[in-house]
Structure 1
Amino acid sequence: MATYQIGVLNGDGIGPEIVQATVEVIAAAAEFAGTTTFDFVSLPMGWEGIEKHGEPIPAITKEKLLECHGWIMGPHDSSAYPPEQKEKRNPSGELRHTFDLYANIRPSKTMPGIKSVVGEADLVIFRENTEGFYPDRNMYAGLGEYMITPDIAVVNGVFTRKAAERIAHAAFRMAMQRKRKVTIVHKANVIRLGYGLFLDTCREVARQYPEVQVDDYHIDAMAAHLVRRAKDFDVIVTTNMFGDILSDLAGELVGSLGLAPSINTNDRQAMAQAAHGSAPDIAGKNIANPVGEMLSMVMLLDWLASRHQDQELHRIARLVEQSIMTTIEEGICTRDLGGDATTTEFTAAIIKRIGSGGK
């Protein structure tokens, strides 16, 4: 029986509610399968980290994460942190930077029982996670933005061949397991050097995957194409900011950003993290939707299964995924999806279906 150590970072706002709901569901699935155990290790993050250690991501958390097979991260409310903390990277950016989690993988897929505004769609966005126009992540030290005068702000965008190559390879490897189609999204017609380097490097990588069909779009055109014909896309690879924007758009188009999962990985470590925010306005009310976080953990299980050649993890992931889908299809869901179930009621319904094999 294999045991996997999973770091648990509850986060802020609705984070503790949806992360704990996810832990309960995964634990129930592991118990049902009877072949795998998870050692969940709670670590301070966000307000908990600030109150106990003076940092949103204290050193002890980073040290313990190195010992974990993977970890699940709740959303953070960094906009509400004390002024001295706002000057630093937010918890998500800090972990992505510290562990060089270069690939943010965000699928968007229509679900039974959830209304989609674009019909059927099943795509996955590979977002480069370490540079571009996100100044908290693209510098070795310091932040890449400056106030030249009180009325002039300058932001540096960083584009490297190394970063483009590795995110492109990750996207093309995924495409080989899917429909063998990759779409590159950029703005090389205007930001010719930065996005030109990204586009050219992705095309160079594409030549190593001759079985994969490749096309590319400018970001503004791509946003329109997603709205009009999301079903035509399979794997999308793009830069940090564009990937952030497009994945939020795609999540809403197929049903709700509250359903949108993601993982962040560097090929050796991975972090499950829902794409949505901390929703402090509904925190503690037991009405938050945990699906995005749960499906992020499903992605982490699949990632661990591939990394450790453990088919039991794939089976546990499918059991959790099927139980979530069955529950939603039967009309049991939280208020944001048109239902009346509380977070705990929804979680209990999923666990009940896990106990019957996902049916």
Structure 2
Amino acid sequence: MTNNSYRLGVLHGDGIGPEIVPAAVAIVDAALATAGAEPVEWVELPLGASAIETHGAPTPQSTLDALAGLDGWLLGPHDSVSYPEPFRSQLNPSGTIRKHFGLFANIRPAKAFPGGNAVVDGTDLVIVRENTEGFYADRNTFAGTGEFMPSPDVAIAMGIITRAATERIARTAFELAKARGKKLTIVHKANVLKLTTGLFRTVCREVAADYPDVTVDDFHIDAMTMKLVRKADEFDVIVTENMFGDILSDLAGEIAGSLGIAPSVNSSETHAMAQAAHGSAPDIAGRNVANPIAMVLSSAMLLEWLAAKNDDARLRDAAALVETGVTTAVTGGTSTRDLGGSASTTEFTAAVVAAISAGKDRS
């Protein structure tokens, strides 16, 4: 059985990042030990407001250089709107990293926990979001952005959809659907954005021919938001462009119980970054009340990605232990206040670690 050693980056970020990222590290360490895997070497790197003070930039070049030599990394949330200029107007840290490493796939699961305050019980879906182009102007040009003002009273943004990027994300989504419930939904707005999202829908349908065992349907984005609110439990894998995917995944996270439980991983074929779907929540930063689940489950997704890339069964076992530990803690009555509980961040982290350790004792 493969038992590799890994070096993973730790970027705490801003707001609640310095609370939820260490929680994820502690839980991953416990899971690795229980699974009999080699311990991870954690490499802390500067990022965010603190990096502006120490390195003169929120995403220092030295951080990007160091990330390139690691197996993956955990990125905490950032609060870029509070950065001083010129940094506030520049590409934010997560966008800078995604663009620098070509992380084209943003995988965002939404799964309800029993007793976890879900709007739709039984929700268990994954949104596969194309991460490099679409209608977010900071991601669809080689240099600069696709948003500009030819005059003080006119603002223009380009939305770019390409066959190559769409086919790439479609195959990622179909492979995931093939391994899950064999059902995939394409989300678009081809009735209005006929050329751009029309191309997205067309290319996804073309890729579907290579996956005859996957059932495929498609919805306009506005219809999809209504269906998710009432029937989220009927969906499995959803593939869409950048902006639609961002909005839908936030909605799906709340439907599953809380945005605080919404994980994600950003990946290419060679690099991956665990990143919670939520923001930095500066209003509760430093109070030890933040829900670390999203960051913890994002870290489990990173372990799964590394396990698949390196054919590492122990790492796969560790990822499963993280997920089971979180579920055990929540169903056992320990949760943070956004899920209806009263546990602090550190108390919830300790409960998950204890659940993972108890699993080792039972084995």
TM-score range, shorter chain: over 0.9
Corresponding residue for 2:82?
80
1:321 aligned onto 2:336: no
Distance 2:122 2:34 in 1: 32
Deviation at 1:270, TM superposition (A): 0.6
Corresponding residue for 1:152?
154
Partner of residue 99 from structure 2, selected from 92, 97, 100: 97
Distance 2:36 2:121 in 1: 38
1:183 alignment partner, SS class: strand
Distance 2:42 2:114 in 1: 31
1:264 alignment partner, SS class: strand
Distance 2:181 2:320 in 1: 20
Distance 1:262 1:175 in 2: 16
Deviation at 1:345, TM superposition (A): 1.3
1:239 aligned onto 2:265: no
Distance 2:162 2:239 in 1: 15
Deviation at 1:227, TM superposition (A): 1.2
Corresponding residue for 1:186?
188
Corresponding residue for 1:24?
26
Aligned CA RMSD, in angstroms, stands at 1.1
Is the contact made by 2:75 and 2:275 (CA closer than 8 Å) also made in structure 1?
yes
Is the contact made by 1:18 and 1:293 (CA closer than 8 Å) also made in structure 2?
yes
2:108 alignment partner, SS class: strand
Paired letter, 1:111: F
Partner of residue 47 from structure 1, selected from 43, 46, 49: 49
Runs of 4+ deviating beyond 4 Å = none
Is the contact made by 2:117 and 2:340 (CA closer than 8 Å) also made in structure 1?
no
Distance 1:132 1:20 in 2: 33
Distance 2:166 2:232 in 1: 24
Distance 1:84 1:35 in 2: 44
Paired letter, 1:243: G
Once the two structures are overlaid, the 10-residue window that deviates more, 334-343 or 221-230, is 334-343
* Residues 1-359 of structure 1 mapped to structure 2, 5 A cutoff: 1-357=3-359
Distance 1:195 1:337 in 2: 36
Paired letter, 1:214: V
Distance 1:196 1:122 in 2: 27
Deviations 1:19-68 (A, max 9, x none): 01110111122223333210000011111221111111111111111111
- Where structure 1 has 5 or more consecutive residues not aligned to the other structure, the ranges are none
Deviation at 1:110, TM superposition (A): 1.2
Deviations 1:284-331 (A, max 9, x none): 111111000000001111111111000101111111111111111111
- Where structure 2 has 5 or more consecutive residues not aligned to the other structure, the ranges are none
1:236 alignment partner, SS class: strand
State the TM-score, normalized to the length of structure 1. Answer: 0.98
Deviation at 1:150, TM superposition (A): 2.2
State the TM-score, normalized to the length of structure 2. Answer: 0.97
Paired letter, 2:340: G
Deviation at 1:212, TM superposition (A): 1.1
2:133 alignment partner, SS class: coil
Distance 2:179 2:348 in 1: 32
Distance 1:118 1:7 in 2: 35
Number of aligned positions between the proteins: 359
Distance 2:212 2:316 in 1: 29
